[in-house]
Structure 1
Amino acid sequence: MDLPHLREMRRRAVLTQQQLAEKSGVARDTISKLESGHRRAYPTTVQKLAAALAVAPQALVGGVEYLDEEVREERQEEQPEKKRRRAGF
């Protein structure tokens, strides 16, 4: 799966690719390829990176899990008839 927010989240955490690699256990080369879109991530890789960045896995793949809890609740109340999809994490 693609990780469109990985670079942004890593930079917000003020980490280099090498530091994230050491913290997550994911190779720096893999992180580089994921950030540039040259590689897709396995769910276990997403989980490792999310844990190292202290974010929900959905935040890395473009979900709304990075929003404040209040904003998520408001959005759910506004559209109760729509089915909500969640990534399989």
Structure 2
Amino acid sequence: MDFTNLKEIRKAKGLNQEELSRESGVGRITISRLESGALKESSVSTLMKIAKALDCNVEDITGSFDEQKI
């Protein structure tokens, strides 16, 4: 799975990784690894927390949605 949209959306919202981490409750290292491609999958709940903090949909971040695992 490709999470490169995450970085673009985060920057468009004017947030750095630490700010997104605080607002979403997801660790900054996890956010960094998703953005860099080091993590190829993530739980739906993690992506939903990030999407909520960014005021967007999970699909905006991933381009797809699978209820089991993304």
Q: Pairwise mapping of residues 16-55 of structure 1 onto structure 2 (< 5 A)? A: 16-39=16-39, 40-55=41-56
Identity over aligned pairs, percent: 38
> Gapped runs of 5+ residues in structure 2?
none
TM-score (norm 1): 0.68
Count of aligned positions:
66
> Gapped runs of 5+ residues in structure 1?
64-86
Residues 40-86 of structure 1 show CA distances to partners (whole Å, capped at 9, x for unaligned) of 221111100000000011000025xxxxxxxxxxxxxxxxxxxxxxx
Residues 3-33 of structure 1 show CA distances to partners (whole Å, capped at 9, x for unaligned) of 2200000000000000000000000011000
Q: Which amino acid aligns with 2:44?
A: P
Q: Pairwise mapping of residues 1-89 of structure 1 onto structure 2 (< 5 A)? A: 1-39=1-39, 40-63=41-64, 87-88=65-66
1:76 is aligned to none
**Aligned-pair Cα RMSD in Å:** 1.3
Tell me: higher relative CO, structure 1 or 2? Use CA pairs within 8 A at least 6 residues apart.
2
TM-score (norm 2): 0.85
Rg comparison, structure with higher value: 1
Verify the 8 A CA contact 1:2 1:41 in the aligned structure 2.
no
Q: Spell out structure 1 runs of 4+ moving beyond 6 A.
A: none
1:81 is aligned to none
